[in-house]
Amino acid sequence: MKRYFRFWLSIFFIALSGCGNTSTVERQYPETYTNSELIERPDINSLLSVANEYLFAKRPLASPVEPIPIDKITPDQLVDETKNVVYRLGHSTVLMKIEGKLILTDPMFSERASPTQIAGPKRFHPVPITIAELPTVDVVVISHDHYDHLDESSIAALAEKTNVFLVPLKIKPYLVDWGVRPEKIIELEWWKSVNVGNINFVFTPAQHFSGRGVLDRDSTLWGGWAVLAKSARIFFSGDSGYFTGFKKIGRKYGPFDLTLIETGAYNIHWPFVHMFPEQSVAAHIDVRGKVMMPVHNCTFDLSVHDWNEPLIKALQLGREKGVAVAIPKIGERFEIGKTPDNDAWWY
């Protein structure tokens, strides 16, 4: 019974997050966005194939057997921090302090990555700091509108304690509906940039798709972010398949001191919109990164690989390719420019 329940929850979540739409739907809308290279995306056949795997695959490590270790973050710790640091909060949510500014990527603090908190993928671990505990956030950056990256309750809670929201084209109306004042929101298209204080934020292309329901496929833009400060340069990939755009990003804005690269929720049924670990490492090399931090893993069960497989494979491939891979615990302080010292907490 439990397997059948999870089966229908999977169909519910994937369909509402836009994975089940066919290309005929997007042609109903006067303005949609497309990738710069491959335009093939998951369709209804992909949805059914993945749902079948969820139902029948033997998955001994679909979720952690023991609680994931968490380093609690305190407000004073963030206020007093003087170095350039990052903290993984879970999934693709990363909190950075760069040259004194607090920057938050794709804030997802909810219990479930879903249109409803009654059903859908449930997080494996608590967040190491709540939104209520956060000091004022200088900048929130959003990569795209899928539920595991654009979370309504998180945005609503951050609305009055965040100074600037940087978002892709057509996402501003969501934030306004959720209580963010319009003057706080800046929409960007690919390759456009804006300065917030002394830090330059560039919205970079990605190979993905968008949609929060079955009728809005690709009606908003998607991408990644280059965060360019004088003392540190960070690349956040957002969600993306592997494509030649990473090399262009590397040529224009690299080298990067740290890359936050999507490494998780990969599947043979959607090879063009999410990267396998070997492609994630290749993307890091393409953008000319120095240290790679795999994100988009270890918080929600969004594919059929083991929960810790992305970390195991990224670290192994990094050693083979001579790439420094940082895998801090959730909430653990990682200072940009330091050599990673991983303690294999994921085993």
Give the DSSP H/E element, type plus range, for residue 333. none
Specify if 34 maps to a domain. Answer: no
Beta bridge partners of 289: 256
Specify if 185 maps to a domain. Answer: yes
pLDDT digits (tens, 9 = 90+) for 234-250: 999 999 999 999 999 99
Q: How far apart are CA 107 and CA 116, in angstroms?
A: 17
Helices (H), 27-96: 44-56, 75-80
Specify if 138 maps to a domain. Answer: yes
Specify if 18 maps to a domain. Answer: no
Of the listed ranges 22-31, 157-166, 172-181, 214-223, the least confidently predicted one is 22-31
Specify if 152 maps to a domain. Answer: yes
CB within 8 A of 288, min separation 6: which ones?
A: 250, 254, 255, 256
Helices (H), 63-151: 75-80
Report the CATH number at residue 147: 3.60.15.10
pLDDT reported for residue 43: 65
Please count the structural domains in the chain: 1
- Are the CB atoms for 50 and 10 separated by under 8 Å? yes
Specify if 344 maps to a domain. Answer: no
User: What b/e string do you get for 131-143 counting C-beta neighbours within 10 Å, with b at 16 or more?
Assistant: beebeebbbbbbb
Pairing of strands 93-98, 85-90: antiparallel
Residue 229 has pLDDT above 90, yes or no: yes
Residue 122 DSSP code: B
Residue 19 has pLDDT above 70, yes or no: no
Does this model's pTM top 0.75? My answer is yes
- Are the CB atoms for 205 and 283 separated by under 8 Å? no
pLDDT digits (tens, 9 = 90+) for 130-188: 999 999 999 999 999 999 999 999 999 999 999 999 999 999 999 999 999 999 999 99
pLDDT reported for residue 23: 32
When the pLDDT of each residue in the chain is averaged and rounded to a whole number, the result is 90
Residue 261 has pLDDT above 90, yes or no: yes
Q: What number of other Cβ atoms are within 10 A of residue 8's Cβ?
A: 13
Specify if 287 maps to a domain. Answer: yes
Q: How far apart are CA 4 and CA 225, in angstroms?
A: 39
Q: How far apart are CA 101 and CA 302, in angstroms?
A: 32
Of the listed ranges 23-37, 95-109, 224-238, 316-330, the least confidently predicted one is 23-37
Amino acid at 186: I
Amino acid at 289: G
Residue-number span of the structural domain to which 236 is assigned = 75-335
Specify if 246 maps to a domain. Answer: yes
Share of the chain above pLDDT 70, in %: 88
Residue 17 has pLDDT above 50, yes or no: no
